[in-house]
Structure 1
Amino acid sequence: MANTDYKSPDALMRHLRDNGISISGSSQKQQLINTGYFHGYKGYRFFVSSSNRLPFTSYNEINATIQYDTKLKSLLYGKMMFIETALKNIALNTIMSEIDSSSIYDMYDKAISSYKNAPAGTREDIKKKYQNNKLNLQGSIQNAIAAAYRKENPKITHFYNNVNYNEVPLWAIFEILTMGDFGYLLSCLTIDMREKVSRAIGINLSSDTYRELLYKYVYALKDLRNAIAHNDVVYDTRFKKMDPSRPMKQCLILEMGMPYINFKTIGDYIILICYYLKLLKVSKTEIKSFIREFEKITREYESSVNPNVSAISIHPDLFSRLNILKNSI
């Protein structure tokens, strides 16, 4: 039986024209081939959800949207890697200093919430929750070690393939944790340890009663990082998997002078990244250069699509909030 779902590039171009998208010529045909009909057109024809279609009239606009998203991911990648590495190292150094050890077993005993170290008066169901989280953490770390060993990661094989070692130190384990696993580890720390790590980073804790910003911001950044790593759409924040808590919003409002924060637009993630760059003592010059480059590629994108598209894809107060952001650095 013939595969009736298959369409050649020429047939796809006719299909696009039938749906109101002007496309013609060898150049646009090659763009369609390079970006893919399903990854490109079908992936970028809506904003956030499939019910919110963008009113494209030409393939030039679709290609401009794809290129904007690509430039955005390139801009963000280095900053995300820097922040992830820095946060891991600050957390690692703080934990090892507090427990006076590089043993993962000492971390489990002294720094991770569990049934036995729950604060006095903690409800029985909460104690069991702590213990369950600790066991899940142990399992996820062991799985990460096993996966790294299978892949012959020298950071792990160095310890197991040497008769003089019998334990992988914390610093080696932190090297192989995904950002999601790292966020989960932070969430399992005792509230006292989360406060110590938060203060070592410099997070404003005035609105963070339960010391949750430490790991919730990591979860927010993890969603963005994974979208970049897997070449998913970034500019419309469809990657967002968590609802931001009130402290997550309030901290950035206070620290960065923002009128509001809701994590519904890419601008809010730019603000969060800049907050961390500021905490990590990156120079004002470098942070402002990062913001200006984001402004530049966004302005270029805005001028390359029709106003009906940019009205949806670029938040109306984005540039005014970026001016506030630059003044807060």
Structure 2
Amino acid sequence: MASPQTINGLMRHLRNDCNVQINGSKQKKQLVSYGYYHGYKGYRFVKQQNTQIPYTDFSEVVAVIEYDNNMKAALYPTLMFLETALKNIVCNTSVEGLRQGTFDYVYKERMSDNPSNAKLQLKRLKLRNSVYSQVSRRYSDEARRENQMVRHFYNRGEDAPLWAIFEFLYLKDLASFFECLNTATREDILNQIDLFDVSIDTNRGLLSTVLFTLKALRNAVAHNNIIFDTRFKDRKISNVLKRWVEKETGIQNITLYSLVDYIIIICCLLKRIDFNNTRANDLLRQYKEQNDLLKSSVTPEIYSMIIQQNVASKITSLKAYLNS
């Protein structure tokens, strides 16, 4: 196995083999801070490794890394807000009117329609297994914690309430939970957040589709993975989500191939949950500012590879939608 490269050796490699100029103590420190493998190696292409970004100076690499980092910083609190708000809405509606507010009781009372639908029944069984697994894992972990939320209930011979379980469910679990609810309960939730459009979403599944779509972005942001080129995308956009967003905003060509499409979907949700549009407008402003900063820091060729041609018009249309 070859010996690990020194920082000076990596700088020579960038200059001689990659045609990227890098010199001086400042850029040396930047290479150390960002890392050659997480930094240059991770940001040297768009989506696929054969789509190389034509860097000529390390300052351009830094500009793209900073763009990515700043967008993650802008998105993180917004995604956390949405996740928490949607968990609360789904949880509250799921237990409303029931004698008990536990997962078992909700599963029995509000995940019981369409029993002959084998595909739905399998999803419900998988959800139940996943929840039980996470509860048992949490119970075990709390032996070493001061905050013993799950143990507080089970050690008294009680089931944990649904709100306690929702505290540690992942976004994909929330999407699955919503997907498994009875049709009437899903419709109630969709109506609460003004997401129900029977002409598009006949199966009342739009929210789960949105959550499954945002899950990949949320995880990439939370784990400091690269997001600028949406390489985190793990699914094609569903036809229901595409039609709803385009009808809602008037913005066409929603494909998820560009970060702007995720911004649009997030802003659609924020408009319903945040009400005063402050978070949505702040996110859109930061996105535009970061695009402008990137444009001033890299060549037009690099910029056009990262920011698609229709992004400017989508930003204009999204701003009009938010202020309508």
In the superposition, the TM-score normalised over structure 1's length comes to 0.92
Structure 1 gaps, min length 5:
none
- The CA distance in 1 between the partners of 2:37 and 2:3, in whole Å, is 13
Q: Is the 8 A contact 1:99 1:111 kept in 2?
A: no
Matched, 1:157 2:172: no
Q: Does the Cα contact within 8 Å between 2:172 and 2:212 map onto a contact in 1?
A: yes
Report the CA distance shift for 1:252/1:38 in structure 2 as closer, same or farther (over 3 A): same
In the alignment, what sits opposite 1:142? 132
- Tell me the residue number matched to 2:210: 217
* 1:196 aligns to 2:183 (yes or no): no
The CA distance in 2 between the partners of 1:244 and 1:259, in whole Å, is 13
Counterpart Cα distance in 2 of 1:191 and 1:304: 51
Percentage identity across paired residues of the two chains: 37
Aligned to 2:89: 90
- Which residue in 1 is equivalent to 2:66? 67
Selected match of 1:169 from 161, 171, 181:
161
The Cα of 1:7 is off from its aligned counterpart by: 0.7
Deviation at 1:157, TM superposition (A): 2.3
Partner of 1:248: 241
- Using the TM superposition, give the Cα deviation of residue 283 of structure 1 relative to its aligned residue in structure 2, in angstroms: 1.4
User: SS state of the match for residue 261, structure 1?
Assistant: coil
What does 1:1-329 correspond to in 2, within 5 Å? 3-18=1-16, 19-113=18-112, 117-118=113-114, 122=116, 127-152=117-142, 153-161=147-155, 163=156, 165-205=157-197, 206-329=199-322
Q: State the Cα distance separating 1:260 from its structure 2 match.
A: 2.3
Per-residue deviation, residues 89-148 of structure 1 (Å, max 9, x unmatched): 1111111115453022221112125xxx316xx5xxxx3323322221111001111222
The normalised TM-score by structure 2 is 0.93
> Cα deviation per residue 1:37-86 (whole Å; 9 max; x = unaligned)?
11001110011111211111111011111111000000000100000001
Counterpart-to-counterpart distance in 2, 1:315 and 1:195: 36
Moved more, 256-265 or 87-96: 256-265
Deviations along 1:234-266, one digit per CA (max 9) or x if unpaired, are 111111101111110111111112122111100
Instruction: Confirm or deny: 8 A CA contact 1:87 1:201 kept in the other structure.
Output: no
Cα deviation for residue 189 of structure 1 reads 1.7
Superimposed CA distance per residue, residues 267-288 of structure 1 (whole angstroms, 9 cap, x where no aligned partner): 0010011101101133134422
Q: 1:98 to 1:207 in 2, by over 3 A?
A: farther
* DSSP 3-state at the match of 1:151: helix
Change (3 A) 1:192 1:64: same
User: In the TM superposition, what whole-angstrom CA distance separates every residue of 1:156-189 from its partner, at most 9, and x where no partner exists?
Assistant: 122133x3x4211111111110111111111222
Give yes or no for contact 1:213–1:248 (8 Å, CA) kept in 2.
yes
CA distance in 2, matches of 1:316, 1:283: 30
Equivalent AA in structure 2 for residue 144 of structure 1: Q
CA RMSD for the aligned pairs? 1.5
Alpha-carbon distance between aligned partners in 2 of 1:247 and 1:99, rounded to the nearest angstrom = 31
Would you say the 8 A contact 2:196–2:204 is kept in 1? no
Distance 1:178 1:140 in 2: 11
